[in-house]
Amino acid sequence: MDSTGSQEPAKEPITDKNGNEPKPGDLIEIFRNVYEHWAVYVGDGYVVHLLGPDGNFSSFSTVNLPVGKNNILKQKLVEVVSSDEWLINNILDQEKKPRPAHVIVDQANSLVGTTRSYNVANYNCEHFATELRYGDAESQQVEDALKIGLGVTGASLALGVVVVAFLIWKTNKSTSN
Residue from 70, 52, 48 nearest 61 by CA: 52
Buried b (16+ CB within 10 A) or exposed e, 3-24: eeeeeeeeeeebebeeeeebeb
Task: Pick the catalytic residue from 42, 51, 72, 125.
Answer: 125
Our answer to whether residue 125 is catalytic in this structure is yes
Report how far apart the first and last C-alpha atoms of the chain are (Å, whole number). Answer: 100
Task: Pick the catalytic residue from 37, 116, 127, 133.
Answer: 37
What are the angstrom distances between the C-alpha of 104 and each of 21, 128, 135?
18, 11, 9
Q: Is 30 helix (H, G, I), strand (E, B) or coil?
A: strand
Our answer to whether residue 127 is catalytic in this structure is no
Our answer to whether residue 37 is catalytic in this structure is yes
Whole-angstrom distance, CA of residue 66 vs CA of residue 87: 23
Task: Pick the catalytic residue from 28, 35, 49, 50.
Answer: 49
What are the angstrom distances between the C-alpha of 131 and each of 13, 70, 92?
27, 19, 11
Q: Is 150 exposed, middle or buried (0-12, 13-18, 19+ CB in 10 A)?
A: exposed
Q: Which residues are catalytic?
A: 37, 49, 125
